[in-house]
Structure 1
């Protein structure tokens, strides 16, 4: 049991509706530390205007996909720590947080296995057209849909961190060849995982399946723009369970319609929830609701990890998992 305590009158605002859904442990930790948790929004991230209104008088903030902008941070008169209930902190203005002396923490590694397993499921679905068959059977059809076996095919893993390495292991177990691109990982490290390091352009040209596992840079535009998408092999499969800004969705939809890209599966989009997107009507596409990280185990682990660091910061200690 933790002996750390928050100062009297401490309030923690929790906006993510999935916080501690599968474990009471994070709630218990907050209660025992006297961190005064406020229950989460029931079904969605808080709009920016509402978050700005509710942030006054709050000492700790635990968020999911809520945009924590400079305006939100400026409205926080007591805020000491922002915790991302997850891994990516691209929805949080880190510079504004630093300027106000606010710590930002997250839960690195907590959902890596969940995302890697989900991603490989998307690859299997795209290759063997499982969901496509289901949809036709539900409508009364009985199709025999053919697709390639994965053994002997080449998977390109773009971003070779925890998730990319786990995915590599799954692919190798299915008999796939794996090439990987990550400018921050040494080629020998890639080789030690059973993959071969390659440039981004070589990965796109060689791969039968391309899977993205890296953060997006909004200032740089999509990593896979129209030109790079067109450089994929005829009939290649594209999977993105990372960040929506990585892919030019309009260009992807066109290449799916043209048949140049054989199939695509996306769990992340430039705008969420997905609005009036050409991907909705594109053929051979599988769209899921940014749920790759939604395993029961990941939910438990990320809740405990961010709660521990929130309590540490509120108690005047250094967090174990700072975002920067």
Structure 2
């Protein structure tokens, strides 16, 4: 049986998936990260050292760059344990003849749950209630229902659709905005398809589930926030960078919104926003979590297994699930090598 070195630079890699890889000829090496550090904090030299000789890499949020890939000739496949891949240079992956995959279908349910949890927590002012009890006060902060509210869902991938389905249990009126909407699906779910401006102006809660691209960066800025209802709630469990956090902080400080539920922040990729994040997190009308929406035990086990199956498929010469592949340069690279040899 072949023996491939597979490096995992993400925490919480379960024993069952590790054993599954080992049973298929993989020598699994888990990076030992200092407490409080993620693979996104590792510099290029550290990553290159960890990955020397590796055929497979199961990665969290590290930047996968052209320069790093050039230092890793043995690497065949980069499998993200997650679904966002804005930190993966997919063109460089293809150019170097490698494959990059994402773990589609592993964390949809828990992120959808997390979004609903943030909606409820902000609407019912749970943070403020606990803060008052901690000071000995039983004064009740008056919240609002999720029941029968109008909720605007921006982005209709797996997570967005999961949120729509969950909102049916609260008898919400749901309206969606997405570049691609299956009209039959929308009709079956009883949702309205609207433009972003209408969604912002008429929704009691706006929840974001779009990918971060050059077109969606700062999709929610001062102008968009000004369109929202005065007591509106903004929820972002998608990507930091969809919301201009400075503008959101200003809107909250001005009393323009009831509050916000945030799992992601611009400061995750731009340290210049660190003070803005601290100011947002300190506010009683903000319920914040540390990019934890996809991190339940069950979801991590699922995404570990999907990432591992993608790694095995590439190493064994098979095709990974098509929906998981975001870059595949194997054929192009082989053709280029053939031309060079000729």
Query: Where do 1:1-324 residues align within 5 Å?
Result: 7-8=2-3, 10-20=4-14, 24-42=15-33, 43=35, 44-46=37-39, 47-49=42-44, 50-218=46-214, 221-272=217-268, 275-277=274-276, 278-320=279-321, 321-324=324-327
Structure 1 Cα separation of the partners of residues 307 and 75 of structure 2: 16
Verify the 8 A CA contact 1:150 1:174 in the aligned structure 2.
yes
Verify the 8 A CA contact 2:109 2:162 in the aligned structure 1.
yes
Verify the 8 A CA contact 2:216 2:242 in the aligned structure 1.
no
Structure 2 Cα separation of the partners of residues 78 and 151 of structure 1: 54
Structure 2 Cα separation of the partners of residues 163 and 194 of structure 1: 17
SS in 2 for 1:313: helix
Shift of 1:219: 6.5
Verify the 8 A CA contact 2:116 2:163 in the aligned structure 1.
yes
Verify the 8 A CA contact 1:207 1:233 in the aligned structure 2.
yes
SS in 2 for 1:299: helix
Verify the 8 A CA contact 2:128 2:284 in the aligned structure 1.
no
SS in 2 for 1:244: coil
Shift of 1:18: 2.2
Shift of 1:62: 0.5
Verify the 8 A CA contact 2:127 2:284 in the aligned structure 1.
no
Q: 1:41 to 1:200 in 2, by over 3 A?
A: farther
Structure 2 Cα separation of the partners of residues 120 and 40 of structure 1: 33
Which deviates more from structure 2 when the two are superposed, residues 34-43 or residues 297-306?
Answer: 34-43
Structure 1 Cα separation of the partners of residues 219 and 184 of structure 2: 25
Verify the 8 A CA contact 1:19 1:85 in the aligned structure 2.
no
State the number of aligned residues.
315
Shift of 1:225: 1.4
Shift of 1:54: 2.3
SS in 2 for 1:110: coil
Shift of 1:283: 4.6
Shift of 1:26: 0.8
Shift of 1:272: 2.3
Shift of 1:35: 1.3
SS in 1 for 2:325: coil
Structure 2 Cα separation of the partners of residues 221 and 166 of structure 1: 23
Structure 2 Cα separation of the partners of residues 30 and 148 of structure 1: 48
Which deviates more from structure 2 when the two are superposed, residues 116-125 or residues 303-312?
Answer: 303-312
Structure 1 Cα separation of the partners of residues 121 and 216 of structure 2: 31
Structure 2 Cα separation of the partners of residues 219 and 163 of structure 1: 20
Verify the 8 A CA contact 1:217 1:245 in the aligned structure 2.
no
SS in 2 for 1:227: helix
